[in-house]
Structure 1
Amino acid sequence: MNFSTVNKKKDRGLLLPAIAFIILSFVQCTPKHQIASSLEAGTKAGHPNKGLKDYYKNYFPIGVAVSMASLHGPDSALIVNEFNSITPENDMKMGPIHPSEDIYNWKNADKIVDFAVSHHIKIRGHNLCWHNQEAAWMFKGADGKPVTKELLLQRLKDHVFAVAGRYKGKIYAWDVVNEAIDDSDDTTQIYRKSNWYNICNGPDFIEAAFRYAHEADPQAKLYYNDYNSEHPVKREKIYKLLKKLIEDHVPIDGVGMQAHWKLNDPSSDELRKALDEVTSLGLKVQFTELDITIRLPRPAPVPGTTPPAATTLPTPDPGYTPELEAKQIAQYKMAFDIFRQYKKFITSVTFWNVSDRSSWLDGRGGGLMGGAAAGLNTPRAVIKAYPLLFDENRERKKAYWSVVNF
């Protein structure tokens, strides 16, 4: 018998229980928040180059809205690592890209498309027809008076053919019509009274835009895009529009739910109902402009008192507090839990801007001024919204880990 081997076995027999005792003592004596922090740090260290797109590769593309500034420097590196879809934030909208009848500004849009193609990133086009950032010339004749319906639709067709045609085969999906539904609680008023609606004396421009887009690029997926699509009244209005388009055999593939959300809005029930209604029509869903502001609407004023301005904040502004952060984490987790459950119907989730360093909501009172509903000419108060998964230093926030740890 080899006594050396026996002694080694005895040593192991004594050593293993001792190690187990030490580990157990550490776990019992270490505060839970320190253990959680260690686990989170381990997660970060374990996948330094793994991005959102990689976590969701078996679900749907994860996209981001970009500007020209995003194509260079730190934003560019973050985009390539984290996302596999991009949407031009402003550079393909009618006003910027087609400012007058005979002039198209292709430069920025072309560079964004080239960036995406060179990095094998999918592209969503945004958008072909909208009541904001529109081209004013589109609605006026040489005499300065409103054009006829026929001329307006011809101009719309020319625009759609030029823009969608230029990027045919490169842009896989278009927001064809954006925000054409009325915002009020009046259930009898379905459509927004825009220049498009008023000159066409109804919603015919919506159907026309989809047909033009399909003619211009038959392979592109075509979406109707809107905000507050989870709110019951507007949800029903959008449903009526979609149902009519389908009944009229209009080429439409899905709905873009913008998802400019708040810490308490929408609820999980509202989100599920919106998804169930759209998918019951056989349509796909893309969440097209996701962000979750930490700024909560003020409570209703006490009767007889003058309410403060919508953008008034406590002085000093408490900023991104742990309490608000926890609520944002919970809202993001709720949303992505549901997204994954509906993966058969959801074909993309896109964040609106790259990081908290610069969000479009910052220029709209952090979202307190109505977000997407606020007109572009509304006076702007700069209030940080902190609405995204990356902080002002482009570092991953805790909300990021709530989205990818599943």
Structure 2
Amino acid sequence: MATAKLDRLPKELIAYIACCADASGVLSLSRTCKVVRAVCYDSLIFKNILITSQQTCWPQSYLDIEAVASRAGNDPEVWARYALADQRAWELLLRAHPQESSTQHMDMAWLPELSVVRHPYAQGPRWESPLRDPLDPRPNQLFCVVMAILASTHDLQKVSHELLRYQDRFSRRDDSTASFLWALGTIVLGVRLALKMRLNAWPYNHDAVVPHIDLPEASQIPLRPLNDRYSLPAPFSRRAVELLGRSTSSFGSWDSWYDLHSYEAFRSRSFLSDGSWCGYYTHFYLSTAGLDPPMMEIKFKVSSRAVGNQAPVAIEDVDLLALDCVDGLGHFDIHGVMSYRNRALEFQGRKQYTAGGQVGGWDWDCRLTPFGLVGYWGSVLSTNGQLSRRGIVWLWKKEWTDASP
């Protein structure tokens, strides 16, 4: 009996077979011969595989497929990377077991890049089950944890406990990117739990101008490039076909994206000055019942710094001012300087109360991140000029909370 050869099948049938396979299957199929590769190694096939996976595998998908399309274009290689990373995320979720190590789960070369396009890998409580070993506090992995926290509606007790392990380290003088991402994850979990407790016990400081506001979800925070000077990071740095051996040593470009996204937001100025900002602050070493009402009506004015009668100094130094803001204690102003130092956007400022019976204020040490302004508040010591950290502060653009997912 004659045996039909794959390369002699109609192209439409080969394409149909490819669409029914997963990403690794299509990559393997494309290596059989030139005829088959010409048909199945195609951007539309990998895009279809990715979309089908979001519809069938994940209970609720908020993947930013338009952002993926703007990054990949008609390049089948980039589409293949995203589809392969999606496949590995699903396989990892299926394998998740309490006995598996956090390294096996979190030390993935493709996970930070998937997080940037809001991949739903963190749906459900199972994703956190491998966090039995100490959490890896590297910036790209903490970014994934933050995105998972913002995407989840669960208490995430294991994640909360793991973040608490690093409080003594990060609540002191640590200016690394990891420190500020740790702060963000910690304040989100703390505020979420506090709101859940306080809103169940009415009234929740009903005398405050704004009793409470909702936290933004992962699907509400815009992570697409702000201009064409940089692009989204694609999973893996090597060709997708080279990753069929399950290699985990090929890293993407998350680090560059993180730095450039924050820097371009700073350069645009309008990112800071358009609309209003809001946020919360929390205390170290206090129970969640001590959460204060949120900060609102924060409208920044940005201006270049000047020294005496000289021209403005470098573009990396600007004054930031917000007047007549309000929180549960009264009205306050925010003023300080934002500078680009060591690949980070540093904001050294002060929150000064101006009315409402409050006297004085607090010093801030924040960073401009893709999630807004994140950092610490406390008092600057006269002995060494360093901030004695007393808690965490997070400001985001109010339009994010108002936006529909």
TM-score for the superposition, normalised by structure 1:
0.23
Answer 1 or 2: which has greater strand percent: 2
Answer 1 or 2: which has greater helix percent: 1
